[in-house]
Homo-oligomer: A and B are copies of this chain.
Amino acid sequence: MRKVAVAGIGFTKVGEPWERNVKELFAEAAMSALKDAAHAEIDQLYVANMMGAHLQGQIGMGAMMAEAIGRPGLPAVRIEAGQASGGVAFNEGVKAVASGLSDWVLVGGVEKMSDLLPEAVTTALTGPEEQEYTAYTGVTKTGLSAILHRLYNHEYGATPEEIGWFAARGHDNAVGVAHAQFPFKLSIERVMTSPMEADPIRMMECAAVADGAAAVLLCPAEIATGIEVAASTVATDHLSLASRKNPLTLEAVKKAGTKAYEMAKVKPKDIDILEVTDDTTIDGVLSLEDLGFAEKGKGAKLVAQGYTTRTGEMPTNNFGGLKARGNPVGATGLYQIAETVIQLRGKAGANQVLDAKIGMAQSMAGVGSTCSVAILRRV
């Protein structure tokens, strides 16, 4: 099995560019990843996309994006794992290089959520829940997270404000970030006085509708030195919260994390920078805990205390995370990887975490039905 390196990264600014379609967004990210790597050849393309069928009626995006980047003919496939599509596509790309079947693999993700009305997006976001059992009731993704939020407060005596801090901390890191959807501060007061979205989750605790694309170019580690893929894992869990032993433990996150630590031969304390899924604040808190960075039930308090800030113990979501950088769902896992690479290269400017050598990125579908974890290392 060959070692795999990240040779290049690229992404678009996250936002709502109504005048651009999925092909244009994807091509921009892909072309900038190739430019970043100073390399033109591609053997295989992976396209991460979650809701193209729901929002554009578009499937078959593998072939479509191969053509969009001027490479019709290229082996190409779409990877879909709900909101974890980007992270899981990265995992497939790593396997393609590790197997020796491909040398240069482009993994790109794209999502265009602003094409339809918010109701359609809400329906699509609930797509990975079981339609005949969970989605059927009319519950939304945020509604499911609200159950966990409430239960977390009840079980661990956390306050809504402690959890709300996750959003404020993300926004702190997004200030001035050129590719961020919301590159400005958001005070904890603004978070806690924003309208209720799904009690006790407030609007400013939720990632917004976003369009964007991100891409990474992978190759064998003997060819491109710099950033090595130390681990890439995927795990799943029961879809329904009611089927899980303890809903406050995200087993998919634990499994993918544990396996990634083994694969990379590191421990949580060795991780210098972290990207986690915070499409709502409680998702971020639970991810932090289940990846081993906080004791169960203590995560929210730690975040409120500054544990995840740039100079804190575990610098997290260093360009804003899903809430502030933005969450174009199928692309999000690849934004996380790309941002981790920027940090490991020491090119994060004002956002730089000092001496970042090992970084982790965690992507999650639904309320944890699928989780991908990648560990990257500067070599």
Contacts and interface: CB of A to CB of B under 8 A. Distances in A.
A99 B100 CA distance: 7
Interface string A68-81: 00001111111111
Interface residues of A, number: 60
Nearest to A57: B131
Nearest to A80: B78
Contact of A63 (B21, B64, B81, B96): B81
Nearest to A259: B75
Contacts of A98: 99-101
A237 B59 contact: no
A128 B60 CA distance: 4
A132 to B, nearest CB: 6
Interface stretch (A147-155, A176-184, A280-288, A362-370): A362-370
A273 to B, nearest CB: 24
A74 B237 CA distance: 8
A128 B58 CA distance: 6
Contacts of A243: 67, 72
Contact of A82 (B59, B91, B235, B252): B59
Contacts of A82: 59-60, 63
A358 interface: no
Contacts of A251: 72-73
B81 A127 contact: no
Interface in A35-90: 50-51, 53-54, 56-60, 62-64, 66-67, 72-82, 88
B130 A64 contact: yes
Contacts of A81: 60, 62-63, 76-78
A192 to B, nearest CB: 32
A233 interface: yes
B59 A236 contact: no
B80 A88 contact: no
A255 interface: yes
A65 B50 CA distance: 17
Nearest to A59: B127
Contacts of A54: 53, 57, 59
A342 interface: no
A347 interface: no
B57 A50 contact: no
Contacts of A100: 1, 98-99
Contacts of A66: 236
A63 B255 contact: no
Interface string A243-268: 10000000110010000000000000
A288 B253 CA distance: 47
Nearest to A123: B57
Interface of A: 1, 21, 50-51, 53-54, 56-60, 62-64, 66-67, 72-82, 88, 91-92, 95-96, 98-101, 123-124, 127-132, 135, 233-239, 243, 251-252, 255, 365-366, 369-370
Given A60-B81, A64-B130, A77-B88, 11 more contacts: A58-B130, A59-B82, A64-B369, A67-B236, A73-B255, A74-B235, A75-B234, A77-B79, A78-B79, A95-B99, A96-B99
